[in-house]
């Protein structure tokens, strides 16, 4: 981990990247909102600005929705304030609520952009598939009491791989310029009572992963045939797309960049570390 900023010049601003982990249950998503509701961005902006001793603007790799979590969210900001990497990390953490935590800080060149430099993003969605809900992990996963067929869900997920128009899987208020995305992985694994979907793509539409999971769960329950996933995709109509899966099970776990100087962590969340059959993203 870089402990100094060798390109710091007096009077010049420089760029800092951070990796943050957060539990989204108590927040109205990542982005600051005009209504003043509690958001992850607002909490981090306040904390980082205090440590920097100046206002900062944060740019993030992937904006998460209300109730959605992150284990490796990447952001950047520009500042004229000098701090060692550990100073940024520990200093900001002392100013944050206990459901948001900075994991590392890294100096980056001015060409790095947390959002536009990312070449791939990954999410994981966790389902607790059991007759009764979990009293301990309820906010960190979605409960489904009916038995889900992993084989049916994986067969349906395979139909969605590749570059397609995902209009049927985007929320009505999605602001993305194009509904076309390249989905590179939709892998489902089961261990005990947990089922995990790992999704990788060059980008995701608003609610896209939750809408995909809603379709896959309906197929896994046997409410719909496997081929329904392809019918929904080709229909390009959100009204045909079924129920949006709850936010509680969704985690932003990775943004990939074409550079080798950023620290690496397990994709997470920690409960999935060493999860059998779940490949690293």
Catalytic residue among 57, 65, 261, 273: 65
- The DSSP secondary-structure symbol of 209 reads H
Examine the residue annotation and report whether 65 is marked as an active-site residue of this protein: yes
In this structure, the number of other CB atoms found within 10 A of the CB of residue 261 comes to 12
- By residue count, the chain amounts to 281
Do the bridges between strand 250-257 and strand 69-79 make them parallel or antiparallel, or are there none, so unpaired? Answer: parallel
DSSP code per residue over 76-123: EEEES----HHHHHHHHHHHS-TTEEEEEEEEE-TT--TTTTEEEEEE
Instruction: List the catalytic residues.
Output: 65
């Amino acid at each position: 981990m870089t402990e100094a900023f060798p390109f710091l010049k007096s009077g010049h601003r420089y760029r800092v990247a951070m990796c943050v982990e957060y539990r989204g249950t108590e927040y109205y998503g990542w982005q600051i909102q005009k209504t003043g509701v509690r958001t992850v961005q607002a909490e981090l902006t306040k904390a980082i600005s205090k440590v920097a001793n100046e206002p900062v603007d944060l740019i993030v790799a992937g904006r998460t929705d209300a109730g959605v979590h992150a284990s490796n969210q990447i952001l950047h900001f520009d500042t004229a304030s000098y701090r060692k990497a550990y100073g940024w990390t520990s200093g900001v953490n002392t100013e944050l609520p206990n459901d948001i935590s900075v994991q590392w800080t890294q100096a980056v060149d001015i060409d790095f952009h947390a959002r536009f430099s990312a070449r791939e993003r990954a999410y994981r969605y966790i389902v607790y598939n059991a007759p009764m809900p979990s009293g301990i992990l309820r906010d960190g996963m979605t409960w489904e009491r009916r038995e889900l067929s992993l084989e049916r869900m994986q067969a349906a997920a395979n139909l969605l791989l590749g570059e397609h128009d995902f209009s049927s899987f985007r929320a009505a208020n999605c602001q993305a310029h194009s509904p076309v995305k390249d989905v590179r992985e939709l892998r489902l694994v089961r261990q005990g009572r947990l089922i995990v979907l790992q999704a990788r793509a060059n980008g995701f539409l608003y609610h896209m992963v939750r809408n995909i999971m809603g379709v896959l769960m309906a197929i896994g329950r046997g409410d719909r045939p496997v081929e329904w996933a392809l019918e929904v995709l080709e229909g390009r109509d959100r009204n045909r797309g079924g129920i949006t899966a709850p936010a509680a099970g969704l985690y932003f776990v990775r943004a990939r960049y074409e550079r080798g100087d950023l620290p690496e962590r397990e994709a997470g969340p920690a409960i999935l570390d060493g999860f059998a059959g779940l490949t690293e993203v």
